[in-house]
Amino acid sequence: MKDRINHRGYRGKLRAKGKVQSARNELLPQVAHRFALTSLLFAACLCVLCGENSFAQTQPHQPPPPDKRIQYRIDLSLDYANRKYTGSERVRWVNRGDRSTGTLIFHLYSNARVPGYVAPKQADEPRLEIVEVKSAESEAPLPFTLEEDNTILRVNLRQDVQPQNSGEVLIKFRGEVPEIDPDETGLVAHVMQQVSAAIGGARELRRPRDTNFMCRGVMLLGTWYPVLAARDGEEWLRRVDPGIGDATVADVADYEVNVDASQGTSIFTPVESKQVATQTGRAISTFVAENLRDFAVVAGSNMTSEERVISGIKIRSIYRREHEVAAKRALNIASNAVTVYIRRLGALPLRMISLIDAPLVTTLSNAEFSGFAAIASAFYVNFDSPAVSSMPDIIREQRASVEESLEWTVAHVVAHQWWGTMVGSDPSREPVLDESLANWSALVYYRETYGEQKADIALDEQLRGVYKLYRTFGGEDLEANLPAKFYRNTFQYSAIVTGKGALMFEALRKLLGNEKFFAALHSYYDVNRFEIADLDDLRSAFAASASVAERRSVSRTFDRWLLAKHGDEDIAPPDPKLAAELGLPTRDPKNGRNVFSRVGKFFWQQMTRIR
C-alpha cells in the first residue's frame, strides 16, 4: 500500500522542468509557489480572454530540442511466416538528472511471466533475447547482465554519462511471438470469460502474449524491443508488477524504425512509412516519429485501412476486410472524439492515431499504445452479416449493447492519447491517471456529441452500471487508485478503477462547475505533456483552479473517491432484485449456463460490454 503515496514523478518532473531542487523539504514552498504561479497564469488567461493582453498566456510544456531527446533507431527484420524477428537498435539516452551515471536499464517486457508459470511444449508466450550490446561510439562490446528472470537488461557503459549529456549503445536482439488459438478471441469466448470472472471471481493477470502474438493472420508486436526504463529523478523505474492493468511506463522518445518484411505483408505502426525500398521479395519501410512512449508494430496479410484528417491529425482505422462495417463506424467515432478532445482537453501534438481491429484474447478488450490502439476483433461485429446468424441468440439479442459498447471503447482508447501518451503516468502504480481519466473522457465525448440526455444514459450504463453489477455479485468496494496489482480481475478493475475512478471526475466537475473544472484539466495537461505525471500533479492542478474556499472540498473529493470506500452511497448499492433475478449467490462458473437462462436484460447488457 505504501506505493499509493509516492511523490517520485513530481520530484523528477520538477527537475525535468528546470526547477532543480536538492532537498525534499524544499518542495513545500515550491508547491505553494506553483499553485500561486498557475493561478496567476490562469488569471492572465482570463484577462487575455477579456481583451486585456497585458499578461503572457500560459504556454504548454514543450519537449526538449531534438538533440536532447531519447532516440531509438531500429532495424527490424520480420519473418512473418515463422512469427520471428531480428533487430538492432541504436539508443541514445539523455541524462536529465543532476548526477552522472554509468548504467542503462532496459525493460524486456516480453519476457515477463506470471507467477508459477510453466512453459508448455508449444510456446505460448513471446520471447525477447539479447544477442549483443556494444558502444555506439567505439563499437566495443559492453558488459551487460540480464536480471529478474530476463525482464531487465542492465548495460554498463565504459564512461559515465554526465548531466545533460547523452550516451549511445547498440543492441542486437531477436524475438518470437506465439500463435494464439482463434477460439480464444471470439465474442462468445470474451463474454463467457466475463461471466466466469463475475461469478467465480477468477484471478486474471495480464501476460505478454496479450499484446505480442500472431492470430488470424494478424501479428501484433507490442513490446518487441528493449525499452529504456523511465527515470524518476536519479533512479531508473525498473520494477514491473504483474497485474490486471497495463504495466509499461516510458519516457517520450523519437523513433526511426526500418521494417524489413516480405512483400505482400502490410506493416502498420503509429506513423505512416516515409518510404519503401524493395529488394527481391522484400520491402523495407521507414517510419519516423517524434515524442512517443512506445512503438507498436502490426503485420498482416489481409489487412486494409481507411483514414480521415481531423485538425491536422490523421485518424486511421485498420481492419480485416470482414470487419469493414464496424471499422468504418469506429473511424467515424474516433474522428468525432478527436474533435471533442482537442476542444475540451487540449491540442494533441501527434500526426496520427490508428485504431486496429486485432484478435485480442479474452480478458483484454483493448490495448493502447502511443498513437495506436488495438480493439478486440470480437467486438467488430456486423450484426447484419450472415456470420452473426450462427452466434447464440443470447448474444445476437445484445446488438444495441455491443454497438454502444464499441462506441464507448473507441472514445476511451482515443482519449488515452491525451492520458497515457502525451501525459505519461505509471499505470501499474496510479491507474487513475490514465484509465479513469480516459474513461471519464469518453463521457465528455458523449455529452458533446449527443447532449446531456444520452450522456446521462451512458453514464448510467457504462460507469454506474458496472459498479452496481459488480457489487450485486458480491464484489467489495475498494479504493480506486490502488496499484493495479491489487485488483483481482477485469471485472473488479472495470468497476473500481475505470468506473468509480472516472466518476470522481464527474464529482469534481459538479463541485467546481465546467469552467474551473476544464481550466484545471487543461492546466494539468499543458504542464505535464511529454512528462510522467503523478497524482499530486493532478491534485495540484485542481487545487490551483479552485477558489480558496473550494480547495478543501476538492481535496476531500479526491480522498473520498480514491482513498475510501463510499461507492455504495456515491454510485449505487448492490441490487437485491437483480441478485434474485440472477439466482445469486452462485459460485460455480460451470453453472454459468444455468445463470444465463435466468439472467435479466441488465446483466446481459453489462456482460457484453467491452472492458
For Cα atoms 372, 375, 379, give the angle at the middle one, nearest 5 degrees. 160
Which residue's CB is nearer to Zn ion, number 535 or number 546?
535
- Closest distance of CB 502 from Zn ion, Å: 10
Which residue's CB is nearer to Zn ion, number 74 or number 442?
442
Which residue's CB is nearer to Zn ion, number 432 or number 478?
432
The order of strands in the sheet holding 366-369 is 303-310, 313-320, 352-358, 372-376, 366-369
Which residue's CB is nearer to Zn ion, number 187 or number 433?
433
Per CB under 5 A, contacts with Zn ion among 30-89 are: none
- Closest distance of CB 106 from Zn ion, Å: 25
- Closest distance of CB 26 from Zn ion, Å: 36
- Closest distance of CB 291 from Zn ion, Å: 20
CA dihedral over 544, 538, 16, 46, signed as positive or negative:
negative
- Closest distance of CB 462 from Zn ion, Å: 13
For Cα atoms 479, 484, 489, give the angle at the middle one, nearest 5 degrees. 90
Name residues whose C-beta falls within 8 Å of residue 276's C-beta, 6 or more positions apart in sequence. 283, 284, 285, 286
User: If you search the block for the grid coordinates 518532473, which residue do you land on?
Assistant: 13
Q: Which of 549, 437, 443 is nearest to 504 (CA)?
A: 437
Q: Which of 322, 363, 317 is nearest to 336 (CA)?
A: 317
Number of residues that bind Zn ion (CB under 5 A): 2
Which residue's CB is nearer to Zn ion, number 259 or number 502?
502
- Closest distance of CB 372 from Zn ion, Å: 13
Counting every residue written for the chain, the total comes to 611
Which residue's CB is nearer to Zn ion, number 176 or number 435?
435
- Closest distance of CB 95 from Zn ion, Å: 32
Binding flags for Zn ion, 175-214, as an x/- string (CB under 5 A):
----------------------------------------
Which residue's CB is nearer to Zn ion, number 438 or number 578?
438
Which residue's CB is nearer to Zn ion, number 294 or number 435?
435
Which residue's CB is nearer to Zn ion, number 245 or number 475?
245
- Closest distance of CB 360 from Zn ion, Å: 13
Which residue's CB is nearer to Zn ion, number 267 or number 413?
413
The one-letter code for the residue type at 432 is V
Per CB under 5 A, contacts with Zn ion among 424-453 are: 435, 438
Element of type H or E holding 401: helix 399-415
- Closest distance of CB 516 from Zn ion, Å: 26
Burial class (CB in 10 A: 0-12, 13-18, 19+), 593: exposed
- Closest distance of CB 107 from Zn ion, Å: 20
DSSP string over 484-508: GGG--SHHHHIIIIIIIHHHHHHHH
CA dihedral over 377, 383, 387, 389, signed as positive or negative:
positive
Which residue's CB is nearer to Zn ion, number 89 or number 435?
435
Spatial contact of 78 and 85, defined as CB atoms under 8 Å apart: yes
Q: Which of 611, 206, 140 is nearest to 412 (CA)?
A: 611
Binding flags for Zn ion, 377-416, as an x/- string (CB under 5 A):
----------------------------------------
Measure the CA–CA gap between 529 and 504, rounded to whole angstroms.
22
User: Could you tell me if residue 17 is left (phi over 0), alpha (psi between -120 and 50 degrees) or otherwise beta?
Assistant: alpha
User: If you search the block for the grid coordinates 462458473, which residue do you land on?
Assistant: 589
- Closest distance of CB 419 from Zn ion, Å: 9
Per CB under 5 A, contacts with Zn ion among 151-180 are: none
Binding site for Zn ion (CB under 5 A): 435, 438
